[in-house]
Amino acid sequence: MIKTQKTGHKTSSGIPARIFCCVLMLTSCAFVCRAQDKIYTSDNSIIVAKVLKVGSTEIEYKKFSNLNGPSYLISKSNVNMIVYENGEKETYSRIPEKQPVRVLRPVKPHFTGIASLDNARELVNSENINDAISVYAQLVAKDSTVFIYQVEYAYALALGGIYEAALSHLDISRNKGYKTPEFYYYTSQVFTLMGFADLAGEIWKEDAKNKPPGWITAKAPDLMKTYGRKTFIPVPETKKEFNAKFKNANRLASQNSNLLSIALFRDIINQHPNDYIPYIGYSISLEKLGFLELSAQSIEKAISIIQGSPEKAEIKQALDNRLLTIRNKMNVYRTANLFGLKEKKGDAMNPQMLMYVGAMIGSGVTSLNSRIGYFMSETSNGSVDIGLTSSSGNTNINLGLSFYGRDRMFVYGAGLVCNVGASSYLSAKITVGLSFMNKNHTGSFDIFFDGNQSLSKTSPSTITLSIGRSVYFGKRK
């Protein structure tokens, strides 16, 4: 039984029910408010959302008004603070100037269409960048040895503002020896998108021999205007943060991630233009990449900063010596270039050759095979074959020219061989086999079947097995 109280002439039997309803409503409102995350942007707007993921450069979220709808991305550089549903705050360094918030297209969980190179390029040209990244990721996962997948994937990542991953893929390609005009073009595009036009201009200069890939030529300028980082705005940082960033840049350089390293050094220099130390690290990474003119300019800048400081006289002398070393190296490369020995702009001389040695020992036939080859493309090479075959008491020296191609681990080739011995004759050679490349693409374990069809009716035709190892000098294109 509910007890009632009288106040004046009115009973209050309904008051507890009304109080209960009010408390319930307030509790519900509080729960709804606390279930929301709030993203405070640099243009002083607030996005009511459910934060899904906070990455290194971007934040992924869903609109709170449509939690079953698409996901969105916003750059962390355009966010001042996130207040989570539990009241926890995550604050980011405030950007000095107001920047327009650029929200990318909705992020799809995965791309469900056909993962093909043509499809990926079409998505880039139609500015479906997230989908393009998804397709390129599938292509690289399917076969990471295809050079063009890696460099175009890097370009798509940079269009999406994912610069670190883009440069990482380019570093991988370069360290594998894939230094083609396409590599330099896409590398320059990535640096231009990052706002480093001077680096891009040093890496790529269009001329009669260097032409942009046809599929992107017309669209690239528009993509640059839409997705390029217009200016670099320094974000205040502590000395501890500066030291950590500088240490990371040096670590990347020591691991041959030189493109990542120079990008990080450029960020450091933009924030600390009057500190001579970052220019030295920047110069070292540029030199390792072969950009000697920029490397020298960086040392000259460091020298100009400490010019006239007696306490830094020894440092200046060391920098003067380094500058002289770089200048001498530039003269050596210019001389090499006159004789056609320099492979590519921005790279040291690189022969890009291979040597193979293999053998077969059996009861009736013993053979020793070797060849020296030169890579004409990333998958094909021309070789001089030298071999020795002993059978039934007869020994022949085999000299020939062959051309080989590679499709993943399958190798095939054909050539012409001169067999010199008791009787000399020519034979046509066909080779098929398996080649198991090491992770660094500097060598492989090979199993070849060689078929030699004599061009003389009186000479025998043979099929031999050769097991051996190849070593690659300068890696491969």
- Domain boundary assignment for the chain: 15-91, 117-227, 239-338, 353-473
pLDDT digits (tens, 9 = 90+) for 289-312: 888 888 999 999 999 999 888 888
Highest mean pLDDT (candidates 55-64, 105-114, 224-233): 55-64
SS3 (DSSP) at 47: strand
**Amino acid 167: pLDDT:** 92
**Amino acid 321: pLDDT:** 92
Residue 94 pLDDT class (50, 70, 90 cuts): very low
Cα separation of the two ends of the chain:
91
Q: Which amino acid is at 444?
A: S
Q: Which residues of 50-63 are buried (b: 16+ CB within 10 A; e: fewer)?
A: bbeeeeeebbbbbe
Task: Tell which wins on pLDDT, 346 or 359.
Answer: 359
Backbone angles phi, psi at 146, to 5 degrees: -80, 115
Chain centroid offset of residue 211 CA: 21
The 10 Å Cβ neighbour count of residue 272 is 17
**Amino acid 305: pLDDT:** 93
Instruction: Say whether pLDDT at 231 is over 70.
Output: no
* Contact partners, residue 397, CB within 8 Å, separation at least 6: 386, 387, 388, 419, 420, 421
The mean-pLDDT minimum among 28-37, 210-219, 280-289 falls in 28-37
* Contact partners, residue 285, CB within 8 Å, separation at least 6: 249, 253, 258, 261, 262, 265
Instruction: Say whether pLDDT at 154 is over 80.
Output: yes
- HSE-up (13 A, CA, CB side) for residue 147: 20
- Percent of the chain at pLDDT exceeding 70: 79
Instruction: Say whether pLDDT at 475 is over 70.
Output: no
Instruction: Say whether pLDDT at 103 is over 50.
Output: no
Instruction: Say whether pLDDT at 69 is over 70.
Output: yes
353-473 and 117-227 share a CATH fold: no
Q: Which amino acid is at 29?
A: C
The mean-pLDDT minimum among 73-87, 223-237, 395-409 falls in 223-237
The mean-pLDDT minimum among 28-37, 325-334, 400-409 falls in 28-37
Task: Tell which wins on pLDDT, 458 or 347.
Answer: 458
Q: Kindly state the average pLDDT of the residues 197-226.
A: 86
CATH of domain 117-227: 1.25.40.10
Q: What is the layout of strands, in order, in the sheet containing 89-91? A: 71-75, 58-63, 46-54, 37-41, 79-83, 89-91
**Amino acid 222: pLDDT:** 92
CB 452, CB 461: distance < 8 Å: yes
**Amino acid 440: pLDDT:** 64
Q: Would you put residue 308 in left (φ > 0), alpha (ψ -120 to 50) or beta?
A: left
**Per the structure block, which two tokens stand in for 220?**
């690239």
Instruction: Say whether pLDDT at 34 is over 80.
Output: no
Residue 426 pLDDT class (50, 70, 90 cuts): confident
Compute the C-alpha angle 156/161/167, nearest 5°.
Answer: 65
Instruction: Say whether pLDDT at 347 is over 80.
Output: no
CB 224, CB 230: distance < 8 Å: no
Task: Tell which wins on pLDDT, 31 or 409.
Answer: 409
User: 421, 431, 423: which is closest to 462 by C-alpha?
Assistant: 431
Instruction: Say whether pLDDT at 390 is over 50.
Output: yes
**Amino acid 58: pLDDT:** 84
CATH of domain 353-473: 2.40.160.20
Average pLDDT, the chain: 78
Tell which CATH classification among 3.40.605.10, 1.10.1740.10, 2.30.110.10, 2.30.30.100 matches the domain 15-91: 2.30.30.100
CATH superfamily of domain region 239-338: Tetratricopeptide repeat domain (1.25.40.10)
Task: Tell which wins on pLDDT, 239 or 220.
Answer: 220
**Amino acid 462: pLDDT:** 78
SS3 (DSSP) at 471: strand
SS3 (DSSP) at 81: strand
Task: Tell which wins on pLDDT, 249 or 463.
Answer: 249
Instruction: Say whether pLDDT at 95 is over 80.
Output: no
* Contact partners, residue 440, CB within 8 Å, separation at least 6: 175, 176, 475
**Amino acid 174: pLDDT:** 85
- Percent of the chain at pLDDT exceeding 90: 20
CB 419, CB 449: distance < 8 Å: no
DSSP letter for 235, please.
Answer: -
Q: Is 208 exposed, middle or buried (0-12, 13-18, 19+ CB in 10 A)?
A: exposed
Task: Tell which wins on pLDDT, 229 or 108.
Answer: 229
SS3 (DSSP) at 176: coil
